[in-house]
Structure 1
Amino acid sequence: MTEKLADPSTDRETMLVELVDESGVAIGACSVADAHRPPGRLHRAFSVLLFDAHGHVLLQQRAAIKTRFPLQWANTCCGHPLPGQSVAEAAAIRLREEFGMTAALTKVGVFTYLAGDEKTGRVEHEYDHVLIGVVGDGPPRPDPAEIAHWAWLPPQEVRADVAQNSGKFTPWLPQVLEIADQAHRG
């Protein structure tokens, strides 16, 4: 089975995101670039965390070309639904684009965060929906334009590494991991 990878000609910065209020109600739209300019505009996002049969989580090191938090380790994949698009649909598409994988995804929580990237000057201010899935033994097929490296790791090892080396991880990963791992063990 061949999965379509992300179209490198697509400028994700021009795509639209859905602006939301503090309770997640849609209030408008703007481009990805505009949403991530300081001070940041609160918008809908999603974070996917996949588990394998052993309870390990699939992390990715974001590609060097990412406009926010490049080369930092993050959850399996993340992104933004288009205005009016379901979070689950957008997450499934992004999982195929970034990792060439499919999984039944379940929404397990939501949180809001605000974080600035000192290296790029961009800001993440997201109303982040967390989704989890369980996959079999098939290897990921990452798109190198999206993912520099990837690894299956036990959640407790990730927590310990974040505590010791927080700068190598995206600022949203700890909260995504907590929500996802609690739901998975649930």
Structure 2
Amino acid sequence: MTTEEHVVLVDRDGQALGTAPKSEVHGRETPLHLAFSSYVFDHEGRVLLTRRADHKVTWPGVWTNSCCGHPLPGEPLAEAVGRRLSYELGLTVERVDLMLPTFAYRAVMANGIVEHELCPVYRATVSTPVAPNPEEVGETRWMPWKEFAEGVCSGLLAISPWCREQVPLLVELGADPMAWHPASPAALPPAARP
């Protein structure tokens, strides 16, 4: 018997308020909750893009960064990144680095469903081939970071709303994503600190 996955609810200061079933969180009144975004790079500096599965509740069929997800209550975020990359993309992560510890966003779909997340952003490096899980991912594509970042920042590349906000912040870290300096885990919101 599987138990339902729960997400961590947080206040504006990043303090944990409790948990709620993941299946009940995303709607028109989505409470702020803890999540993560990750950008997977290969050793050539290419970023892995994914198209969300067509049956996803939020932004179905939309292209986005490599993988997003929610840590389980008490689960360190870096471990959650590795767990979801394995589940969604069949990837074994070599390294996970915190890049944007306090990123948060709120976005509303045309049908009124809201995504509202305190969503630290991670860089992950891999050398294993991608094996997408069709329950989560409709399609994948590797792209040179510079080309991807320019496409997002110019508005020419259709991408998820959170990715549209994250990429300019990542670009500020430098032109070479493999040379970005990781942030300290101490900068994470309280609910996300190890």
1:108·1:179 contact (CA, 8 Å) conserved in 2? no
Among 96, 108, 113, the alignment partner of 1:116 is 108
Name the % identity: 36
Residue 66 of structure 2 is aligned to residue 65 of structure 1: no
State the alpha-carbon separation in 2 of the partners of residues 92 and 170 from structure 1: 21
Aligned equivalent of 1:129: 120
Residue 130 of structure 2 is aligned to residue 140 of structure 1: yes
State the alpha-carbon separation in 2 of the partners of residues 160 and 180 from structure 1: 12
2:149·2:168 contact (CA, 8 Å) conserved in 1? no
Report the 3-state secondary structure (helix = DSSP H, G, I; strand = E; otherwise coil) of the residue aligned with 2:148: helix
1:35·1:41 contact (CA, 8 Å) conserved in 2? yes
State the alpha-carbon separation in 2 of the partners of residues 10 and 72 from structure 1: 29
RMSD: 2.2
Superposition TM-score, scaled by structure 2 size = 0.80
State the alpha-carbon separation in 2 of the partners of residues 125 and 51 from structure 1: 26
Moved over 6 A (4+): none
State the alpha-carbon separation in 2 of the partners of residues 93 and 178 from structure 1: 26
CA positional deviation for 1:79: 0.6
Alignment of 1:3-152 (within 5 A): 14-103=4-93, 104-109=95-100, 110-119=102-111, 121-136=112-127, 138-152=128-142
1:66 partner letter: K
CA positional deviation for 1:175: 3.0
State the alpha-carbon separation in 1 of the partners of residues 164 and 45 from structure 2: 17
CA positional deviation for 1:102: 1.6
CA positional deviation for 1:23: 2.1
Q: What number of residue pairs does the alignment pair up?
A: 173
1:52·1:134 contact (CA, 8 Å) conserved in 2? yes
1:51·1:133 contact (CA, 8 Å) conserved in 2? yes
Q: Deviations over 1:113-168 (max 9, x none)?
A: 0001114x3211000011111222x32111122111111112232234333446x3
1:130·1:179 contact (CA, 8 Å) conserved in 2? no
Report the 3-state secondary structure (helix = DSSP H, G, I; strand = E; otherwise coil) of the residue aligned with 1:54: coil
Aligned equivalent of 1:174: 164
What runs of 5+ residues in structure 1 fail to find an aligned partner?
Answer: 1-8
